[in-house]
Structure 1
């Protein structure tokens, strides 16, 4: 039996051999800070952040069918709320609210989820393209407000975060943040997998396929949209909090920039929207393209990257996951059947 062979209709993620490869990948990632340079460790950490963003955005768009262009708002608010708690004096808050980084990071993620919970019932009055435009407008408004509130954010200048977790000279702050990000990434992937494989995931897929038909069968569309929106925003905020405390510097223009949303969208397109493993594959490919093309084509890297994305949309709409499924899995099954 070939490595990627599976039964008809079975997801690759349920195959124990594929799960074993995932465990080996995680074990290899654990060794990264000890076997690579700081710059490469930082690059891989960025890749982990991309996985969290891609998986969380895919939960909302790929499974619940709600194309959001405001993911950057939740990424940025998670970073800022956690930074306010670890470095309150820089934002004009009393020092008495200062919290350890390990407490501030999940609170930042919860703050993003709370924002989604509050605005969700309002913004879900919009549907289709109007919902996408509404989320984009929301992200733009939040960025403008945070830029204007220099007392809280430092404005365009931003401010440095005081949360160094280095352990002597042996383990740097970046290494500690790498391990925290790795744990958070694994948790994001596992929790999302449990959601999409459970009854809630079925409800999301139902409203994605046909909201009216699902509603007529007793499925509450708003309930499942809100669930996906809140969980997606939580993990986006968690990614933002981790990334902000890795760089130890935040400002509204970079932390709340729409590029984080675009990156999330591109990652899912490259990997395969509506597939569980797609964002993971897409994150790896996007990281290679984003950094490799600069070394190969220099200033034309953005243009080449854009062309490649267009080609993926046209010729490979199911992304890398679809390519693996079609050419590695199905062909392997056919070859083995022919030999039998």
Structure 2
């Protein structure tokens, strides 16, 4: 537990219609800190999915911002007003833009708070302006994996001692259930046959998530495994392209694009296999969700994924962008229910040991106390 109660603002300028892993992390973190007695404010784009979801929590205090650029004076003023009203002493920032806004508000409105960068991916560039921004104004960077930390350090603008690696955790009380709890719901919602084997994938439809490779793998399996169905949860700019690829391969009866669900836990519990075909993945909170639900996984050996799952114990790992290897791994799991059961049980144990929200908040509070006395 923290020795001091802090006034914290979490800043996320994500586009209005976007919800991803880092937005989920900010939700978990902010609400978890608020429940520990800290005063927490969420600042984000006015009308965004991010603020809408956050507002559903009774503990949430939100500050809508008019975001129209990195340096817009209205945005800087609104952020400064929110920080001043809540007497903020710590500001956690998602994007590079957010770090800039935090520093402009702090400097031009004469405020005094620490800036903590909490990136989910390395969006910083090897430029003098970014090096100046991060080396001069960021007091600490908190990242979910060693892979992401090492990637950012390699950029050359933050030294290793200014990093803390804290894996993202989930609220265990929300992940108590069984496959039977949601199976009928899943079958009825998507009109699936009773013997359907459901491969679940969730995340933004962007190139780095590798959805196209899963579609290619499904094409290879279509004749050999006719009872496999693929459920994609999420949205994003590549959805139309992916749907067209499914149509071109005559797989429309095998693929379901389920959209962005506010509560997808029943679906995770009810699926048979989680597949994560990412080509770039700094962490993978969806893999933690799969383990929390006891769902075996096939994933790629990239980024932070090997830090989250245990190869050949909770997941089969393959090289990225290899549809043939992906198809083989899916088929192996489809045909081996004992392996699936063993992976699912091991995943739940790993979740309880390593990825509980309480543990994450404990470590985060210790970091916040530390940065305040630096």
TM-score (norm 2): 0.21
Structure with bigger strand share is: 2
Larger relative contact order (C-alpha < 8 A, sep ≥ 6)?
A: 1
